Structure 1
Amino acid sequence: MTTRALLSAKDTAAALERLAATAKGELLLCLPHLSPTAPLITSDLRDGGLETWGDLLALLSRRGIDLRLLIADTDPLLSPDRHRAAWSHASGFADVVQGEAQLVCATHGQRATGLRARSLRRRLAPALAALRAEDPARLTPVQRALLSTGPIPRPADISQSFAVADGLGAVIGGPDLGTDGPAGLALAVEDADFCGALRGQFADTWADAHSSGAPSLAARIAPVACPARPQSREDLRLLRTLSRPQRGLGPRPFADDIEATLSRLLGSARRRVLIRTAAFRHDGLAQALAEAATPSGPDVTLLLPPATTGTWDDARASALQATNLHLLQSAFGDRLTIHADPTACERATLCLFDDVTLLGSATLTRRACRWNTEAMVLARDPDLTQALHAYVSAALTGGKTLETATPRYSRSWLPDDLF
């Protein structure tokens, strides 16, 4: 087993490029923001005439590598810029890959129905009106379809971000994986058990995308053969959230490893807890951490964005998070420090509990822990945890303490599940 922390965007990009370039039989990519025009930084690849990720994947497809690329789509009305970027990236890769390379641009298959879904559609009506006013040439196929069908609430996302090669090596992180963001943070893993389990997660996600009608932008979609699935070990575990579409507002949970493991670790930490995430709105997890605030309990450090943005109702989401933070402040007092981290929204969620590291895509929200498609790695490695704690602590030097807002619940018909 080899697990290595990637502490910068440059380190992460180089690890991803090496992983892809050295794949011998299979390369599975689930990287929401990977662009075909993203420049390569590895000198050996550039010396060989490859300049971009589009060039690299085109070469791999010509070599006959079993290449599968899943680009996660987003809500075309609430996140139109990210939706168009996903389709632009998918189309760019489709233009260059050859042979039997397979490519899909997919959303989570859940389409909300029922009374609450109708309320959500009313919330989306202004966004649909703005879409109608745009130049039709700028619209994606999904957006053009919405002009005739009307808004379709999609309360779950595919947020996981990883690459796995030959079932033996992987890189896993958060939304910034595969981009040139300001500061990357990911883990490179070489372990057959973990990578086999991660390959199984990709196979499930790929099958769900196919069954929900995601179009093929390259070769015809075929299942990922997965006759045997290794189980990751206790000291290096894959944690995942996976759900399946059903009638009603939210999907049916199928795997909820992340929520259960987080709840247990939050309640059992004894020395220190450090969490950097885009949101902490899960009241059950906040309560589990508050119950650990005994005299022998841990010191707690939270790194959160300064403001809540991009939710169905930002005011409601901010109030939910403020309630959790006030609960923790009451429980821990001066043993709790909350820092403002403007980059937390675009980076992997990192949780450090004593000698345990969790890193991956899931934020501390009910949606991420129950509805979305998420993947995280749990490593019981004191040296790794210490190195990551030192890295984050060094970055906090001179940083600002986040002033938490007073909880004020705005009137809202939106259910708590959406946050």
Structure 2
Amino acid sequence: MTSDRPSNTAPITDLDVYFSAAEAFPAFEELCLSATRSIRCCFRVFDPSTSLHSDAGRGIGETWFDLLLHLLNRGVEIDITISDFDPIIATDDHRRSWRSARLLADLDELSTDARLTFAISMHPARVGYLPRRVLRSKIAGELEKRDADPLTPGLDGLEAGDDLPLMPATHHQKLAVVDEDALYIGGLDLNDRRYDTLLHQQASEQTWQDIQAIARGPVVAAAAAHLKSFRAVTEGEGEAPPQAPGFLRTLSSRRAQDLIHIAPKPLINEIEEAHLAAVERAEGLIYLETQFFRHKPLAEALVQAATQKDDLACILILPAAPEDVAFEGNDAEDARMGAQIQMEALQILTEGLGERLALASPAQCRSAEDVPQAAILHGAPLIYVHSKLSLFGRDEAILSSANLNGRSFRWDTEAGLHLSERAHVEPLWPRALDHWLLDTAPDPFGPPRDTVTRINQLLSENVAKSPEDRHHFLLPFDHSAQDRLASPLPFVPDEMV
């Protein structure tokens, strides 16, 4: 994949990047099957019933349950942390995590040796007492809509009159360390919903674009130290390991006193700092592929950099709508607030960069039939983007679990790679552009403003055609639906969404 290998002293000595679950899932299966000693991981979503896709995995069984059982019986020690969620506000996510817990408990019973440890881990931060009092009637109303489930801790037994908890943050990271030798990391969780190919030929609500990597080198030790410590750190019971080259984190903790605060106590915002610093250093073309663009300081930094560098230009790829808005019809306060913040961030960017910005969303090359209106982009079903990839010229990139929003930059537990070797960064450019633009992709290493101009021409040409006649996946981002939904939510910090 690369022409020049980084030195053995570089934080990342070997890197493979996967631009879909169809690429990443088999690679992760094979990596785990290569383990001889240990696997330690944390995912927002980890479903042991997820189908296996590699030949090696399918030779063992049908699902990750079979693969994990095989590894345990072979003597590999496995430690799995799965994120937990607010049982009232995020009931479906909360129940999904505990379904996984029950499968892992069954797995532990079936294995011949007790080498499995697992935890369903809620970020320990809580909304302060006074904000909880203000929101009490609203949260009680949400509780009344939920059916108590005695198999799901945290919901059964709650009453509307209780001092109901509110959890503002989650462990959003997706990473695994295998044998202290290899690191699997990025934005991709593990379940069947996230499986898609680069052709995105499934029904729109099943499409999923994500990016994951396997890295080797000193960065693996940093990731392992993080996995061993992050739960204690977020509890406020331990110190985070020092920052390590090539590895980036977001960490927050519970507050010792939580009377008035909605937010957790911020500790480490390396991913935010790395983005802002990379923008300031960047020369030429910047590429951002992200689920959300809701961080106004980042938008302002991009505009400021463009005023100082005439050749700076930016490509931003976003989904046409958030998943819950597109496929579940969510128009509640959280969706409206998210739309408001993104509208404001994009306004900063579009007004500040003008023709030096290409702002696009992907859609399938077919007409929309039996697709919710919110999931239609210029007559075609949207392709859902969940990636978290930022490229800054040929020499710097960030690949992580973090969205470009305040929540990922300051509240949630996040982890990622900071790439600083041209041999690792440069090959990502044609992969990113070719995936979306197919054989129409321009040279990413030509004059940056010319590249953005050409991409904007391709967007205009594509949207003018009927969906079946389109030559690639990208279309102009449609501001209108977002702007109609947008509404501010006073007194709530932007980081909430």
Please give the TM-score of this superposition, normalised by the length of structure 2: 0.74
Alpha-carbon RMSD across the aligned residues, in angstroms, is 2.7
Distance 1:91 1:208, change over 3 A: farther
Counterpart residue number, 1:417: 495
Counterpart residue number, 1:31: 43
Q: CA deviation at 1:384?
A: 3.5
Percent identity over the alignment? 27
Select the structure of larger CA radius of gyration: 2
Aligned-partner Cα distance in 2 for 1:344–1:358: 21
Q: CA-to-partner distance for each residue in 1:125-147, whole Å, 9 max, x for gaps?
A: 3221101xx2x447612211434
Does residue 198 in structure 1 map to residue 223 in structure 2? Answer: yes
Name the amino acid aligned to 2:359.
I
Counterpart residue number, 2:250: 241
Match of 1:87 among 89, 92, 98: 98
**Residues 56-65 or 194-203, more deviating:** 56-65
Could you tell me whether the CA contact under 8 Å between 2:188 and 2:210 is conserved in 1? no
Match of 2:53 among 32, 41, 44: 41
Counterpart residue number, 1:390: 430
- 1:80-159 pair list within 5 angstroms: 80-97=91-108, 98=111, 99-131=114-146, 134=147, 136-137=148-149, 140-147=152-159, 149=162, 151-159=164-172
Unaligned residue ranges in structure 2 (runs of 5+): 1-12, 197-208, 363-381, 438-471
Q: CA-to-partner distance for each residue in 1:163-186, whole Å, 9 max, x for gaps?
A: 111221011011445654224421
Match of 1:307 among 279, 302, 321: 321
Could you tell me whether the CA contact under 8 Å between 2:333 and 2:489 is conserved in 1? no
Does residue 75 in structure 1 map to residue 86 in structure 2? Answer: yes
Counterpart residue number, 2:14: 2
Match of 1:404 among 472, 479, 483: 479
Q: CA deviation at 1:312?
A: 5.8
Counterpart residue number, 1:216: none
Counterpart residue number, 2:338: 317
SS of equivalent residue, structure 1 residue 291:
helix
- 1:150-299 pair list within 5 angstroms: 151-177=164-190, 179=192, 180-182=194-196, 183-191=209-217, 193-207=218-232, 232-233=244-245, 237-246=246-255, 247=258, 248-294=261-307, 295-299=309-313
SS of equivalent residue, structure 2 residue 145:
helix
Name the amino acid aligned to 2:221.
G
Aligned-partner Cα distance in 2 for 1:387–1:11: 16
Aligned-partner Cα distance in 2 for 1:359–1:177: 17
Aligned-partner Cα distance in 1 for 2:495–2:242: 32
Question: How many pairs are equivalent?
Answer: 397
Counterpart residue number, 2:69: 58
Name the amino acid aligned to 1:400.
L
Aligned-partner Cα distance in 2 for 1:153–1:84: 16
Distance 1:137 1:367, change over 3 A: closer
Counterpart residue number, 2:388: 349
**Residues 200-209 or 84-93, more deviating:** 200-209
Name the amino acid aligned to 1:10.
A
Aligned-partner Cα distance in 2 for 1:189–1:83: 31
Please give the TM-score of this superposition, normalised by the length of structure 1: 0.86
Q: CA deviation at 1:411?
A: 5.1
Could you tell me whether the CA contact under 8 Å between 1:23 and 1:166 is conserved in 2? yes
Name the amino acid aligned to 2:341.
L
SS of equivalent residue, structure 2 residue 475:
coil
Counterpart residue number, 1:374: 414
Distance 1:100 1:32, change over 3 A: same
